A = this chain, B = another copy of it.
Amino acid sequence: MANAVTSVVAVGTADVDRCDCNVIHEDIVAQVREKMPGDDILLDLADLFKVFSDSTRVRILCALQHSEMCVCDIAFLLGMTKSAISHQLRALRQTRLVKHRRDGKVVYYSLDDEHVSNIFEQGLIHICE
C-alpha cells in the first residue's frame, strides 16, 4: 500500500534497522503507542499473571478461597511435600496475595486480596467458553 511506503520514509533508517522491518503503518503505530499503558505497568501486569501461571500456586490460592489452612493441610490436600508448598507460599507472600498467622508451631495461611477471585473468575470464563 502507498501508506506503508510513505511510512518507511517517515520513520527513518535507524529505527527500522532496530526491528529489522521495512513495511510499517506509521499512523497506526503512533495511535496505538499513544493509547498503550507504559511499559512499567505492563511489566507489573505480566509479573502478576506470572504468579498465577503455576498450577501449584493456582491450587493453593483456590484452596485458600474456601478456608484458612496450615502448611500441612495444603501439602496433604495437594499431595506434595511441605517444602514444596512452603516455597510457593513464599512467592505468594512476597506478592501480598496471602497472609499468615502463627498459632504455636502451626502457621495458618489465608488470602490477602479480594481481587484474586475476580481474576480467577475471568480466567475460568475463558476456559469454559
Instruction: List residues of A whose CB falls within 8 A of some B CB.
Output: 11, 15-16, 18-25, 28-29, 31-33, 35-37, 39, 41-50, 52-55, 57-59, 62-63, 66-67, 69-73, 75-83, 106, 113, 115, 118-120, 122-127, 129
Contacts and interface: CB of A to CB of B under 8 A. Distances in A.
A26 B18 CA distance: 59
A55 B28 CA distance: 21
Contacts of A31: 66-67
B54 A24 contact: no
A62 B43 contact: no
B76 A11 contact: yes
Nearest to A105: B23
Contact of A21 (B20, B67, B75): B75
Contact of A72 (B18, B24, B82, B120): B24
Contact of A19 (B16, B62, B66, B75): B75
B29 A73 contact: yes
21 contacts: A11-B76, A18-B79, A19-B72, A19-B80, A20-B81, A21-B75, A21-B82, A25-B69, A25-B73, A29-B69, A29-B73, A29-B76, A35-B66, A42-B59, A42-B62, A45-B55, A48-B127, A49-B53, A53-B53, A119-B119, A119-B123
